[in-house]
Copies of this chain bind each other. A is one copy, B any other.
Amino acid sequence: MGNLILAEALAGVLAAELPITQSLGIGVAEAGTDAVVLTLPLLANRNHKGTVFAGSLNAVATLAGWSRLWVELQERTIDAHAVIQDATIRYLEPATSDVRARCAGPDPALLDRAVAMLQRKGRARVALDVEVHDLSGQLVATLAGRYVVHRRQG
């Protein structure tokens, strides 16, 4: 699929499957196997200091990783779904603008190995790193998440 079609499809999935993403204002800026970039607006997520709430930074980062796996499964036409198992998030700087959460995905060799495991065992673990930048390009948070992908029963 083309990346524009993927981005539109992903935005539809987030809106339909996770209504709270609409209250958070999460959008899809890019969706491809090179990277997924989600956006989060300051306005809906700001605290009284005018910076983005830590919980909202974590939410958009968690979803950027989930979305990167969603794109991979679409592109490989594998009927499976991902859930996050655990994550470590570091809040590096206050975010004073809208932010973008970017997940490039794992090393291709690791991804191929996870897909082979998924095909063979019905589930696989994937570790993903996500970076959250503000609009000036400042890195404001990093998330290291581990996701489990489950193949759906045919």
Looking at the assembled complex, report how far the CB atom of A139 sits from the nearest CB atom of chain B, in whole angstroms: 14
User: Could you say which of B46, B58, B63, B94 contacts A59, with CB atoms under 8 Å apart?
Assistant: B58
Interface size on A, residues (CB 8 A): 31
Q: How many copies of this chain does one complex carry?
A: 2
Bound together, the chains give a CA A145 to CA B3 distance in angstroms of 37
Chain B residues near A24 (CB-CB < 8 A): 20, 23
Looking at the assembled complex, report how far the CB atom of A73 sits from the nearest CB atom of chain B, in whole angstroms: 15
Asked if residues A59 and B56 are in contact (CB atoms below 8 Å), the reply is yes
Bound together, the chains give a CA A20 to CA B60 distance in angstroms of 14
* Residue A137 CB within 8 A of the other chain: no
Looking at the assembled complex, report how far the CB atom of A124 sits from the nearest CB atom of chain B, in whole angstroms: 17
**Given A59-B55, A62-B54, A63-B55, A47 and B17 contact (CB-CB distance below 8 Å):** yes
Chain B residues near A16 (CB-CB < 8 A): 48
- Interface 1/0s, chain A 30-55, versus B by CB < 8 A? 00000000000000111110000111
Residues of A within 8 A of B (CB): 16-20, 23-24, 44-48, 53-56, 58-60, 62-63, 83-91, 94
